[in-house]
Amino acid sequence: MAKTLAKSLQLHNDKIPRAIVTDSNDSELSKLYHLCLPVKPELGNGFRQKLYIDQYSPFQETLYIDSDCIVVNKIEFIWDFFSEVSFGVVGYQKREGKAFADILDVSDIISILGLSSLPVFNGGIYYYKNNPEAAQVFSEARRIEREYESLGIAKFRESIADEPVFAIALSLSGIEAVQDPQGLTMRTPLNMTGSLDIDVLKGYCHFIKEGKLVQPAIAHFCGSFAEGFYYNREKLKLDLLNQHPQLNYHTISLIANLTIPFRYPESAYRGLKNAVKRLIKKG
């Protein structure tokens, strides 16, 4: 997935330096990322690593993007979007009810910690500056992580979830979520109705989410969405563009739509494979 993310960034935002934290020795990563930073296992496993991204990034301003995302358009505007905060998340403030896949009770947390509200967001992207205010958020997050269970936060996939930890840290630091009502920054297909209209080559993504049209520059294929038709089709487009740059976008899209089997009977898929191979050779 990290390769797919890099290829999408390379296509639409090649002038923005890219860095990856990894334990992989795959040589292709060094061609796709400007910096390949070795993971520090002593900082923890799983989502705990996200609480330490400030200890990896060499940049003065960092936009962290989950590896299961695909960038479909220019993202320079996101730096302007977060310009007023030292640590940025896309979301809204909440005072009651459940949040973060129901693993946290908002009213309980704000009562225990004496907070007025809690930012609610998806952790597919985080923005932060290299300054004392952002450093405070990270410090608070790492402290909160040690109190995770005592605060009554449920586990997520048998581990901690980064979102509630950062949410509490942000609230303690006096930083609210930055609202994006038009859905132009990052969105997941969770709670989507209808189909996902996306083309990474042509540079668009839009769908109806919770009754509203969203058009994110970053599509976050969280959970099982990364195993589905849309992600794999766009991944194949990027792979084909990378491997066969002589092919035009129309041909690549045709091949991708005919090759990904999730929407087609297996018998039809087998019949299409040879035709696709011949088309690539002719290209």
- Tens of pLDDT, residue by residue over 78-123, are 999 999 999 999 999 999 999 998 889 999 999 999 999 999 999 9
Phi and psi angles of residue 72, each rounded to the nearest 5 degrees, phi first: -110, 0
pLDDT at 283: 54
The residue length of the chain stands at 283
Quote the mean pLDDT of the chain.
90
pLDDT (0 to 100) of residue 256 = 87
What contacts 271, CB < 8 A, 6 or more positions away? none
For the residues 195-216, what does the mean pLDDT come to? 95
Tokens representing residue 255 in the block:
């091949």
pLDDT at 265 over 60: no
- Per-residue pLDDT for 74 more than 60? yes
Section 237-265 average pLDDT: 82
- At residue 12, the pLDDT reads 95
- pLDDT value of position 270: 42
Query: Is the pLDDT reported for residue 69 higher than 70?
Result: yes
pLDDT at 269: 41
Residue extents of the structural domains in the chain: 18-58+85-172
Average pLDDT, stretch 238-244? 92
- pLDDT mean over 193-197: 91
- 94-104 CB burial, b ≥16 within 10 A, e <16: beeeebbeebb
Locate 135 and state its tokens: 């450093």
By the 8 A CB rule, do 88 and 178 touch? Answer: yes
Does residue 63 or residue 160 have the better pLDDT? 63
3-37 residue pLDDT tens: 999 999 999 999 999 999 999 989 999 999 999 99
pLDDT digits (tens, 9 = 90+) for 135-173: 999 999 999 999 998 898 888 777 789 999 999 999 999
Contacts (Cβ under 8 Å, ≥6 apart) of 31:
none
Q: Given this model, what pLDDT does residue 260 score?
A: 73
Q: Which band of pLDDT confidence, cut at 50, 70 and 90, is reported for residue 267?
A: very low
Q: 273 pLDDT band (50/70/90 cuts)?
A: low
Question: What pLDDT band is residue 279 in, cutting at 50, 70 and 90?
Answer: low
DSSP characters for 224-281? Answer: GGGGSHHHHHHHHHHHHHHH-TTS-HHHHHHHHHHH-GGGS-HHHHHHHHHHHHHHHH
140 within 8 A of 151, measured Cβ to Cβ: no
pLDDT band at 124 (very low <50, low <70, confident <90, very high): very high
Closest CA to 87 of 42, 147, 135: 135
DSSP 154: P
pLDDT at 268: 41
- At residue 281, the pLDDT reads 59
The CA-atom distances, in angstroms, between 236 and each of 23, 99, 214, 254 are 24, 34, 24, 11
Q: Measuring CA to CA, which residue among 93, 102, 103, 64 is closest to residue 170? A: 93
